Amino acid sequence: MYRLLKTDGRAKRGELQTVHGTIQTPVFMNVGTVAAIKGAVSTMDLKEIGTQVELSNTYHLHVRTGDKLIKEMGGLHKFMNWDRPILTDSGGFQVFSLAGLRKIKEEGVTFQSHIDGRKIFMGPEESMQIQSNLGSTIAMAFDECAPAKAERDYVEKSVARTTRWLARCKKEMQRLNSLPDTVNPNQLLFGINQGAVYADIRIDHAKRISELDLPGYAVGGLAVGETHEEMYHVLDETVPYLPQDKPTYLMGVGTPANILEAVDRGIDFFDCVYPSRNGRHGHVYTKFGKINLFNAQYEKDDRPIEEGCQCPVCKNYTRAYVRHLLKAKEMLGMRFCVLHNLYFYNHLMEDIRGAIEEGRYSAFKKERLEMLNTYDKK
């Protein structure tokens, strides 16, 4: 159950009550692809850095280890020892971007596993069954994420099919939730808006999927090659046609600046691999922009990664030491950078929530965007 607590312009401050606890929004979900955050970060760590929602990838868990085994082990929450909300994606994005040779039909998609090349079929029902076996808090609808540069004609047909798939997802999820041995009988299904950069297709699709009265809606198919301006334009046009009294999730986005802009356009759920991926390469976030700890200027720098940061790394270690670990290829160096970066994102969301509550989001956004550009200006 989603409660809209406050609005400030289009920015939303809400909370989503789930069987695994209440999510305060806007929220950044921490991406743990195969039920682990890359960079040797555990669920114990996630609690320490203020993570509200962990996100796992259906496709990856299905092809390796397998959702049936995870169900036997009591579901994903028990398996990875995480009692807070988990969101699973539908597998659609990986099927369309990662898997080899694929064939799309009305029933679903046949593709080859990127691990062992075996043929797998996945349609709306299969995706729901896998996510039901995992027992996540929030399951995502199975959709096709058309390339950003796809022709209009292709996008129209693809979106129409995605709409039909969504009705099948809803029906199958209801059936699975009612089974006696289901892991999470209260699993929530979010629908996904598609339509590439064509505003009219997006709007029409948003209206159609809203009629299904799902517990939440995502905007998908962005951050796949279009410009930031195109993405903001799509949000300006589309979000007003998604229900305001439901959570709105922008999939796979993005930089701190992207998040600040998208919150201002009514988005309240985010996920992105940037903080963990950048961390693994020694790129760390600060209020004033991203820095590369491999740079020689940090060799004797006895300040924390970010001054004033309350993360476990910044409270205990210097830039010089973290840089040394990275240079020595010690796993600890990566781990520290990922921990700091995820804390940075989680903490940014906390500041965003505070600014909306106090009705000063617009000024807050402007100030933060300027600060983030500090290093780039030099």
| Residue selected from 13, 202, 323, 340 as contacting Zn ion according to rule CB under 5 A | 340
Q: State the minimum distance, in angstroms, from the CB of residue 38 to Zn ion.
A: 18
- Which span (39-47, 93-101, 194-202, 335-343) binds Zn ion, by CB under 5 A? 335-343
**Phi first, then psi: what are they for 269, rounded to 5°?**
-130, 135
Binding of Zn ion by 49 (CB under 5 A): no
CB 326 → Zn ion: shortest distance, Å? 15
What track of x and - describes contact with Zn ion for positions 272 through 311 (by CB under 5 A)? -------------------------------------x-x
35 binds Zn ion, rule: CB under 5 A: no
Q: How far apart are CA 323 and CA 274, in angstroms?
A: 19
Contact call for residues 173 and 187 (beta carbons, < 8 A): yes
Q: What is the DSSP string of 179-241?
A: STT-S-TT-EEEEEE--TT-HHHHHHHHHHHHTT--SEEEE-S-SSSS-HHHHHHHHHHHGGG
> Closest separation between CB of residue 44 and Zn ion, Å?
17
Interface with Zn ion, residue 368, by CB under 5 A: no
- Other CB atoms within a 10 A radius of the CB of residue 278 amount to 18
Cα first-last separation, the chain: 46
> How many residues line the site for Zn ion (CB under 5 A)?
4
Shortest distance in whole angstroms from residue 338 CB to Zn ion:
11
User: What stretch of H or E contains 267?
Assistant: none
Check if 268 is active-site.
no
Site string for Zn ion, 51-90 (x = CB under 5 A): ----------------------------------------
In the complex, the smallest distance separating the C-beta of residue 268 from Zn ion, rounded to whole angstroms, is 25
**Amino acid in position 370:** E
Q: Is the Cβ of residue 340 or residue 353 nearer to Zn ion in the bound state?
A: 340
DSSP symbol at 137: S
Query: Which of 5, 38, 1, 7 shows the shortest CA–CA distance to 266?
Result: 7
Q: Is 116 a catalytic residue?
A: no
Which parts of 304-333 interact with Zn ion (CB under 5 A)? 309, 311, 314
Q: x/- binding map, residues 148-167, to Zn ion, per CB under 5 A?
A: --------------------
Burial degree of 40 (CB within 10 A; 0-12, 13-18, 19+): middle
| 111 versus 336: smaller Cβ distance to Zn ion | 336
Could you say which of 8, 67, 89, 268 is catalytic?
89
**Least distance to Zn ion from the beta carbon of 348, Å?**
12
Helices (H), the chain: 43-48, 58-63, 67-72, 76-80, 92-97, 124-134, 152-177, 199-210, 228-238, 256-263, 274-280, 319-327, 331-357, 361-372, 374-377
* Active-site annotation, residues: 89, 271
Q: Name the site residues for Zn ion (rule: CB under 5 A).
A: 309, 311, 314, 340
